[in-house]
């Protein structure tokens, strides 16, 4: 992960289920706003991908428990092995170069972070296998990053001075030419990626098997390679060269495992999506309107020529920004309001966040152009350029684990992903504290044994302003539905809930978290039945999931 204008350096609790109590807290709501919610429960809904509740494998880089342990507790469904270190990860010896993040050093950073035994460090592909085994153990799909930048680390010997930049003995070249088989001798002088893929398929089966690796990502944030990894990339890469490498890699992946999905270009954010960081040859591609549109068009043409889809998911990263301060992993209460507003940039027409991002991206007009809000813009570009391509957000972060506002913002983001065409999403940062609770809001079973459903239902909200958001879902084969409501206001609120089909569905369970309940648990619904539905009281800054029969 990389960020503009700042960047990151490299280096829960048990769930209680309770019953439902009606009646609640009538005095609380008197000081807050009032909203009316109407759930469109008359149709089948829009499918929600089960893989939007994902996380990145970072071991103990955040301190505390290993990310895999926290992922399991949060109920994640998908996991990614990515980030800057994977650009230079050498599967032959498991070394990686940290680049600008840490002294341009070669080392065992990922092995250390995952707590892998030193006696096994030189086992080929140990890191990938350990990550994937952890995914399999919790029933999650794995997305594995493969390198394109040209060279990977040759050793664990620490900082690499400028005069030892690649090509040098401190690095080995990557190779994407097919031909080497899984059982052929491994040649340490090169990182043969097709051989890696063949070995993984031999060990786990293809992506269409029970234990296979689901997908591969074509490197990480390539528009920034010249800044993050100057020991292997001397200057700004051109779009043309990057497309050539990407297409060659995609073809090799499809040959090795035809069922595996290919994700790319794994762009870091707005300016890379727009122009590939103002690439040297951007003018040759400007007529496409954006780099992501040019990328999709190149893959569409190649796929039509080859008779096989070479790109399955448009993969981008998205981090919120604010003129008020750095939102990444923040636990600063002064930034809580900015965090809570930040998810609106993903989906809300007319909303313009107070940061540099609206200066980089125009307002989305409904045409196939890159703009804000982000998700409808990317969906339109995909539909116009390479229909059928999925959308993946493989890094995002909406604040630190120790702040309630972060959990509420993250829960809001997950809800927005479910309303759009996002098929895979993986949070960057360990799912500790409030962040894990945001995931459990959707993934943990309530007192009735149910989770948030897989069919998104529209919710119309009236009154009160933008401080309340709501997401509804039904479950395939079931008649009931779940309603997630997030009150971002610092005042209590009342909501009137009604249903398109009429009448008041029985309210059978309430579940959630707030300042008084730091773990997502079964709670008093604070609800009263009225003629056309329910009236429900919500505490200030709270998240609730209500189950209706």
Concatenated DSSP letters for 246-257?
HHHHHHHHHHH-
CA distance 53 to 55: 7
Residue 325: φ, ψ to 5°: 160, 175
CA distance 367 to 118: 54
String of b and e for 313-330 (b: at least 16 CB within 10 Å)? Answer: bbbbbbbbbbeeeebbbb
Cβ atoms 268, 221 nearer than 8 A: yes
| pLDDT on residue 291 | 98
| pLDDT on residue 30 | 40
Q: Residue 233: which of 223, 243, 224, 225 has the closest Cα? A: 225
| pLDDT on residue 526 | 87
CA distance 427 to 386: 26
> Does residue 3 carry a pLDDT above 60?
no
The share of the chain scoring above pLDDT 90, in percent, equals 89
| pLDDT on residue 448 | 84
| pLDDT on residue 16 | 27
Band of pLDDT at residue 33, cut at 50, 70 and 90: confident
Band of pLDDT at residue 531, cut at 50, 70 and 90: confident
Q: Residue 154: which of 164, 145, 146 has the closest Cα? A: 164
Q: What residue segments make up the domains of the chain, in order of their start?
A: 49-448
CA distance 408 to 344: 13
The first and second tokens of residue 41, run together, are: 């429960």
> For the segment 253-269, what is each residue's pLDDT rounded down to a tens digit?
999 999 999 999 999 99
The share of the chain scoring above pLDDT 70, in percent, equals 94
Reading phi first (left if > 0) and then psi (alpha if -120 to 50, else beta), residue 139 is in left
Q: Residue 503: which of 545, 472, 534, 527 has the closest Cα? A: 534
Cα dihedral 106, 227, 287, 240 sign: negative
Taking every pair of C-alpha atoms in the chain, what is the biggest distance, in angstroms? 77
Q: What is the mean pLDDT of the chain?
A: 93
The first and second tokens of residue 40, run together, are: 């469109």
The torsion angle over the Cα atoms of residues 121, 125, 131 and 134, rounded to 10 degrees, is -90
> For the segment 135-167, what is each residue's pLDDT rounded down to a tens digit?
999 999 999 999 999 999 999 999 999 999 999
Omega into 167 within 30° of 0, i.e. cis?
yes
When pLDDT is averaged across residues 79-92 and rounded to a whole number, the result is 98
| Segment among 231-240, 460-469, 479-488 with least mean pLDDT | 460-469
181: how many CB neighbours lie within 10 A of its CB? 11
| pLDDT on residue 27 | 33
- Taking CA 56 as the corner, what is the angle to CA 171 and CA 115, rounded to the nearest 5 degrees? 65
Omega into 5 within 30° of 0, i.e. cis?
yes
The first and second tokens of residue 110, run together, are: 């990922």
Band of pLDDT at residue 21, cut at 50, 70 and 90: very low
CA distance 403 to 331: 5
Which residues lie below 8 Å from residue 3, measured CB to CB, with a gap of 6+?
A: 268, 269, 319, 328
| pLDDT on residue 14 | 25
Cβ atoms 32, 468 nearer than 8 A: no
pTM: 0.93
CA distance 189 to 155: 11
| pLDDT on residue 26 | 32
Cβ atoms 146, 218 nearer than 8 A: yes
Which residues lie below 8 Å from residue 37, measured CB to CB, with a gap of 6+?
A: 459, 460, 461, 462, 470, 483, 485, 495, 496, 497, 498
The first and second tokens of residue 425, run together, are: 């999403």
The first and second tokens of residue 37, run together, are: 């919610």
Third-level CATH fold of 49-448: TIM Barrel (3.20.20)
Q: Three-state DSSP class for 8?
A: coil
CA distance 220 to 216: 11
Beta strand 34-39 with 493-499: parallel, antiparallel or unpaired? parallel
> Does residue 2 carry a pLDDT above 70?
no
CA distance 69 to 59: 9
Cα dihedral 400, 315, 134, 114 sign: negative
| Segment among 55-64, 402-411, 520-529 with least mean pLDDT | 520-529
| pLDDT on residue 96 | 98
In the block, residue with structure tokens 């040859």: 281
| Segment among 25-39, 176-190, 240-254, 437-451 with least mean pLDDT | 25-39
When pLDDT is averaged across residues 309-324 and rounded to a whole number, the result is 98
Quote helix, strand, coil % in the chain, to nearest 5.
Answer: 30, 25, 45
> Does residue 13 carry a pLDDT above 60?
no
């Amino acid at each position: 992960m990389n960020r503009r204008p700042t960047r990151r350096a490299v280096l829960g609790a048990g769930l209680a289920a309770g019953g439902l109590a009606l009646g609640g807290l009538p005095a609380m709501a008197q000081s807050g706003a009032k909203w009316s919610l109407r759930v469109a429960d008359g149709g089948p809904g829009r499918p929600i991908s089960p893989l939007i509740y994902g996380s990145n494998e970072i071991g103990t880089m955040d301190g505390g428990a290993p990310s895999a342990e926290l992922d399991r507790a949060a109920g994640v469904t998908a996991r990614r092995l990515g980030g800057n270190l994977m650009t230079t990860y050498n599967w032959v010896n498991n070394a990686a170069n940290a680049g600008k993040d840490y002294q341009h050093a070669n080392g065992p950073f990922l092995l250390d972070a995952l707590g892998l035994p030193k006696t096994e460090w030189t086992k080929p592909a140990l890191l990938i296998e350990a990550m994937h085994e952890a995914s399999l153990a919790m029933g999650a799909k794995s997305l594995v990053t493969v390198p394109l930048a040209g060279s990977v680390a040759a050793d664990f010997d620490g900082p690499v001075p400028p005069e030892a930049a690649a090509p040098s003995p401190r690095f080995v070249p990557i190779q994407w030419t097919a031909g080497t088989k899984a059982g052929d001798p491994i040649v340490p002088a090169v990182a043969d990626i097709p051989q890696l893929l063949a070995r993984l398929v031999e060990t786990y089966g293809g992506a269409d098997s029970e234990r296979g690796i689901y997908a591969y990502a074509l490197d990480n944030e390539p528009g920034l390679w010249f800044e993050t990894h100057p020991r292997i990339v001397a200057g700004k890469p051109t779009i043309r060269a990057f497309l050539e490498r990407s297409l060659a890699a995609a073809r090799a992946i499809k040959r090795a495992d035809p069922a595996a999905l290919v994700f790319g270009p794994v762009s870091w954010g707005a300016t890379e999506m727009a122009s590939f960081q103002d690439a040297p040859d951007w003018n040759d591609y400007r007529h496409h309107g954006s780099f992501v549109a040019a990328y999709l068009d190149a893959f569409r043409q190649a796929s039509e020529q080859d008779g096989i889809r070479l790109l399955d998911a448009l993969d981008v990263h998205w981090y919120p920004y604010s003129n008020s301060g750095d939102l990444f992993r923040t636990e600063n209460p002064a930034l809580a309001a900015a965090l809570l507003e930040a998810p609106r940039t993903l989906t809300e027409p007319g909303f313009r966040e107070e940061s540099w991002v609206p200066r980089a991206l125009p307002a989305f007009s409904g045409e196939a152009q890159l703009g804000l809000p982000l998700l409808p813009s990317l969906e339109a570009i995909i539909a116009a350029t390479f229909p059928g391509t999925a959308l993946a957000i493989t890094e995002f972060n909406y604040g630190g684990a120790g702040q309630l506002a972060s959990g509420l913002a993250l829960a809001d983001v997950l809800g927005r992903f479910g309303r759009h065409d996002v098929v895979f999403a993986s949070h960057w940062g360990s799912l500790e504290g409030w962040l894990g609770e945001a995931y459990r809001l959707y993934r943990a079973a309530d007192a009735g044994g149910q989770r948030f459903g897989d069919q998104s239902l529209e919710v119309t909200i009236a009154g009160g302003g933008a401080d309340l958001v709501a997401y509804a879902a039904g479950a395939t084969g079931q008649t009931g539905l779940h309603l997630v409501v997030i009150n971002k206001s610092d005042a209590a609120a009342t909501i009137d809930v009604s249903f398109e089909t009429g009448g008041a569905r029985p309210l059978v369970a309430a579940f959630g978290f707030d300042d008084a309940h730091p773990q997502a648990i079964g709670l008093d619904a604070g609800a009263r039945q009225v003629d056309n539905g329910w009236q429900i009281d919500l505490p200030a800054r709270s998240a609730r999931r209500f189950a209706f029969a």
